[in-house]
Structure 1
Amino acid sequence: MSSRQAIAAMSGWRTCRVWHLPAASKADLQTMRQWFCASLMGALLCSPLSAVQADAGKPDNNRSVAQISCDQLDQEVGDKGEQWFRRSLLSERCYAFQAVALRLGMGSLRTFLFEHRIDDGQEEERIQFLDGPAETIEHKGHSPGLWWTRGSDNALRLASIDDTVRQLQDHYDFSLIARDVVAGRNAVVMDVTPRDDQRFPHRLWLDIASGLPLRQQLLNGKGQVVDTVQIVRIDSLVRFSDTLYLHEPDDTDTAMPEADWHPDWLPEGFYRQPASLDVTLNGANLERELYSDGLATLSLFAGPARDNTALREGVHQLGNFRAAARHLQHDGQSWQIIAVGAMPANVLTRVVSQVSLPDDSIDDSQPGSGSEETSP
């Protein structure tokens, strides 16, 4: 998980826990909050079995490894957006730092202290919230870091930084548009624009001196800012000078167990990511799969519908997150399929409408264009 993803996910997790919902449509909104929180936890807390270990020193020749040489940060950066984006991915892994940051989105403002450390070659992340109830979230000893993709043999594998940039270029354009000052530091401003209508654009402010992201904005399809994460002060910036080796787990099948159901369609470039398959929501046992294109993340849930977890069919919105819900009869029970993500509603609707269950003889209704969208 990159620092920008960690900040967004961890601060979003705090927001979902303290969200106060209006009286109108409160039941729908309360249920939507539960699914939003469960989705966010999928992105934030991956299974320990699937954690990618970051170590300094020599690689283990018996395991698949993605190598990050921090000395690459000494190389001169060109004037292309993808070159700066690649540098930012390196910087997020190779710098230890402490920063005060804020997140503006989902109708709230959150401030927090974010710390990224490299201790004996292993990464540690810590967030301390500076407003509201005192709370600290820590990741110690491991970090999922980069994302997973499919190789030429169609097998899932850990992507290198170069793999990540190359595959993202298939779906996004990276363009430098301006220079600015953020947190007292000179920055380049980059637009990350999707090549299709299946994902949302981003705007990044990257520190010229270090390459670290100082501000990130998620935009909607109309180009409006819906979520901002910004560093307001950064201290103790120290670069790690060695090489990091990110080791894949010994057993990918254990890291990403297969569910009996599967999506027949996903947006192009989205691949399964390590996360616990079994989740519990208000006492209901469900299964979840996590998918990402390297920037956007989609959580897909399936399981029996219970009164305290059932989300009304259709498309719902909570802040910059949307959820599409589909109900069906399966194995003598009422089931629900739910897709959650900061993604266009029609994409989530298409995903849930094309999920296959084992021995599927389905009597269901599907969320369509006439579905209402619920938002706070």
Structure 2
Amino acid sequence: MSMPRVSERRLFGRLGVGVMLLSCATLAGAQAAADPAQWLSRMRQAATNRTYQGTMAFAAGSQVSSSRVTHISEGRERYERIEALDGQMRQQFRHNGALLTLWPQTRVAIVEQVEPIADFPALPASSQRALESYEIRSIGSDRVAGHEAEVLLLKPRDALRFGQRLWAERETGLLLRTEVLSPRGDVLESASFTDLSIGGKLAPESVLKPMKKKLDGYRVVRPQAQPTQLDAEGWSLKGSVPGFQLLNCVKRPLDAADEAGAELQVLQSVFSDGLTHVSVFIERFDAQRHKPMRTMLGATHSLMNRHGDWWVTIVGDVPMATIQQFEALLQRRP
């Protein structure tokens, strides 16, 4: 199973929320200035309901990358175009839940329907649940990519999660920059706009036209994710990791196949504490492909281990001790 790319998880918001009346922006801004917690809701709404275009930069450990992103909001319709500016060329085009990813160098096209999972510049839907695990306070003002910003500190209430600093654009609430902090206050990873234009009229055709093209010369992959439940697949957690709740559980095909040529599948469960995520992947064990491993890159920790006839991968922007708790609680039903 290929591991999720850290930069993709952290850089691009994929959260669908209801449309916010923009005429309320001034009132919301005044309320948020008085109550730092309300900035979380403003950030979440702005990432989806605003039109913006800019360049994002991401840094974790020795990895540095950047992407150009265009996000268009028209009524209930959302359009997004993302182009990687570093490394192998990659383009993504999204209209609501329909996502097309193109890899021109290898001539691979991935066509899929995706569920909304929040990442920069969005935040998860449960701002209230985040406040159960984090203390939030305003620590001043700053400028990011030419925009005035309110700076917020989210301090974890326990050792199971990392702290974060967030920069929110003063007028719209759009998240401009984020840093994940170690318990000592060191920056583990960061994501930020380096240039940004908010508002204006952008053409949805810049997204729709590439999605309508024939993919001649490309190997087209259409992964089909099936919603399911952990217990329906024979798994459960014999307890809970404090603060984390199950968001969704799906079963999707792997790129690999067994000796008989049958398609293999992986089970993915996503847990959230309202601010960050932990993903648990379960698939059949294959001695040729699977070797126990622990990795760390920036704030992202992952653990891969065998559980009987199964192979479990757990990954998230949380301390390794949190990852280990998820593994210890995971059990196969007899």
State the TM bucket, normalised to the shorter chain.
0.7 to 0.9
When residues 41 and 272 of structure 1 are mapped into structure 2, their CA distance, relative to the original with a 3 A threshold, is farther
Aligned match for 1:122, one of 66, 77, 80: 77
Q: Percent identity?
A: 18
Deviations 1:332-368 (A, max 9, x none): xx32322111111111112111212121xxxxxxxxx
Gaps of 5+ in 2: 98-113, 202-225, 258-263
The answer to whether the 8 Å contact 1:204/1:215 transfers is: yes
Partner of residue 206, structure 1: 168
Aligned match for 1:327, one of 306, 314, 322: 306
How far 1:174 sits from its partner (Å)? 1.1
Deviations 1:273-302 (A, max 9, x none): 235323415445332211112221111122
How far 1:164 sits from its partner (Å)? 1.8
Partner of residue 81, structure 1: 36
How far 1:95 sits from its partner (Å)? 0.8
How far 1:42 sits from its partner (Å)? 8.8
The answer to whether the 8 Å contact 1:279/1:288 transfers is: no
TM-score, structure 1 normalization: 0.65
TM-score, structure 2 normalization: 0.73
When residues 257 and 324 of structure 1 are mapped into structure 2, their CA distance, relative to the original with a 3 A threshold, is same
After the TM superposition, list the runs of 4 or more consecutive aligned residues in structure 1 that deviate by more than 6 angstroms: 39-45, 51-54
**2:66 maps to 1:100:** no
Aligned match for 1:260, one of 234, 253, 267: 234
When residues 255 and 124 of structure 1 are mapped into structure 2, their CA distance, relative to the original with a 3 A threshold, is farther
2-structure distance, mates of 1:348, 1:162: 20
Gaps of 5+ in 1: 1-30, 46-50, 55-65, 148-160, 240-253, 360-376
How far 1:168 sits from its partner (Å)? 1.2
Report how many residues are paired: 281
Deviations 1:102-130 (A, max 9, x none): 11124222121111112452112221122
What is the root-mean-square deviation of aligned Cα atoms in Å?
A: 3.4
The answer to whether the 8 Å contact 1:86/1:165 transfers is: yes
Pairwise mapping of residues 50-69 of structure 1 onto structure 2 (< 5 A)? 68-69=20-21
Aligned match for 2:195, one of 233, 238, 242: 233
1:237 corresponds to which letter in structure 2?
G
1-structure distance, mates of 2:278, 2:124: 23
1-structure distance, mates of 2:176, 2:11: 20
Does 130-139 or 345-354 show the bigger shift? 130-139
Partner of residue 193, structure 1: 155
Q: Secondary structure at the match of 2:65?
A: strand
**2:24 maps to 1:72:** yes
Does 76-85 or 173-182 show the bigger shift? 76-85
2-structure distance, mates of 1:255, 1:295: 23
1-structure distance, mates of 2:191, 2:68: 13
1-structure distance, mates of 2:8, 2:74: 25
2:3 corresponds to which letter in structure 1?
W
2:251 corresponds to which letter in structure 1?
L
Aligned match for 2:145, one of 154, 166, 183: 183
How far 1:53 sits from its partner (Å)? 6.7
Aligned match for 2:286, one of 306, 309, 312: 306
When residues 168 and 127 of structure 1 are mapped into structure 2, their CA distance, relative to the original with a 3 A threshold, is same
Aligned match for 1:352, one of 315, 327, 332: 327
